[in-house]
């Protein structure tokens, strides 16, 4: 069977399962199964039997709603490929803007930067590579996440210290704290799309009754103890106003930044 015919058949199966963008996903799976570049795919090469068997395997996984990034084992973030898999959240594009906010604040000196809830390590590793003078620490409660984050730091030669801990409580001092913490209200986790609900770890999603329990705890710690010059928080849809008000009530000067979809996504808090 040729590559594009295989993709058409795969797209039909994906569409029957209600998976969005079936043609795009099918091309991706065919290329992944056969190790094809886009040019080879469009040249419509014949797929060997081994690639067809591999495609069946990958397609069956995707039909179980396993995220494409877990199937590939990798996801691009800020121009770098990060290992991902069960146990870590797949990095989202809006988080690249959180990295931008941190990098703008770094300056030339050797800032201490904490990534609270580091997951795959995408924020910590990117910041360490882009701000070479900085001392970067990635913290997570999840041992699975820390294993993947350490692998990603090694893969990219990034100097990041990883610590297992609760938010930033294990940290004595920080100039900048970045955090993309779980922010989905507990009751809404079951309403998420199957790729997220069934596959991504609950500890990376569930932000407590209103979604902002961990975020507010981190604001408390920053306002009373760490007082970083920047706390950069990623928040869910509709949460920025309340989170900003909470930080302001705790003495921060606050700015809210939108993501590329125009959603208030990042709350930037300053105490100094």
Ligand X SMILES: C[S@@+](CC[C@H](N)C(=O)[O-])C[C@H]1O[C@@H](n2cnc3c(N)ncnc32)[C@H](O)[C@@H]1O
The footprint of ligand X on residues 157-186 (CB under 6 A) is 166-167, 180-182
Instruction: State how beta strands 135-140 and 160-164 pair.
Output: parallel
Q: In the Cβ-directed half-sphere of 256, how many Cα atoms lie within 13 Å? A: 19
Instruction: Supply the minimum distance, in Å, between the C-beta of residue 96 and ligand X.
Output: 10
Nearest to 99 by CA among 81, 83, 121, 82: 121
Shortest Å distance, C-beta 145 to ligand X: 4
What whole-number distance in Å separates Cα of residue 73 and Cα of residue 141? 22
Q: Which two tokens stand for residue 37?
A: 């570049």
| Binds ligand X by CB under 6 A, chosen from 101, 102, 111, 122 | 122
Question: Whole-number minimum distance, CB 64 to ligand X, in Å?
Answer: 22
Residue nearest to ligand X (CB): 119
Q: Rule CB under 6 A: is residue 214 a binding residue for ligand X? A: yes
Shortest approach of ligand X to residue 111 CB, angstroms?
A: 18
Which residues are paired to 116 by β-bridges? 139, 179
Q: Does 119 bind ligand X (CB under 6 A)?
A: yes
Q: Is 114 among the residues that bind ligand X (CB under 6 A)?
A: no
Contacts of 75 (CB under 8 A, 6+ apart): 69, 81, 82, 84, 90, 91, 120
Residues near ligand X (CB under 6 A):
89, 91, 95, 116-120, 122-123, 139-142, 145, 166-167, 180-182, 203-204, 214
């Amino acid at each position: 069977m040729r590559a594009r015919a295989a993709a058409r058949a795969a797209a039909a199966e994906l569409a029957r399962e209600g998976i969005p963008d079936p043609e795009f996903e099918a091309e991706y799976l065919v290329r992944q199964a056969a190790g094809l570049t886009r040019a080879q795919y469009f040249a419509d090469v014949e797929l060997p039997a081994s690639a067809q068997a591999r495609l069946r395997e990958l397609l069956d996984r995707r039909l179980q709603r396993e995220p494409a990034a877990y199937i590939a084992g990798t996801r691009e973030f800020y121009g770098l490929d990060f290992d991902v898999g069960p146990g870590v959240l797949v990095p989202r594009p809006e988080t690249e803007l959180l990295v931008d906010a941190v990098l703008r604040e770094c300056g030339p000196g050797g800032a201490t930067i904490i990534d609270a809830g580091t997951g795959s390590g995408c924020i910590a590793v990117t910041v360490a590579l882009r701000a070479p003078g900085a001392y970067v620490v990635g913290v997570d409660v999840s041992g699975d996440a820390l294993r993947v984050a350490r692998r990603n730091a090694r893969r990219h030669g990034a100097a990041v210290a990883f610590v297992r801990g609760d938010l930033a409580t294990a940290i004595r001092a920080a100039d900048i704290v970045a955090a993309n913490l779980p922010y989905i209200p507990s009751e809404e986790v079951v309403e998420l799309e199957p790729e997220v609900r069934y596959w991504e770890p609950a500890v990376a999603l569930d932000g407590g009754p209103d979604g902002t329990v961990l975020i507010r705890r981190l604001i408390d710690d920053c306002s009373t103890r760490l007082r970083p010059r920047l706390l950069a928080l990623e928040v869910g849809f509709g949460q920025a106003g309340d989170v900003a008000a909470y930080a302001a009530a705790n003495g921060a000067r606050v700015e809210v930044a939108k993501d590329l979809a125009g959603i208030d996504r990042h709350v930037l808090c300053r105490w100094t």
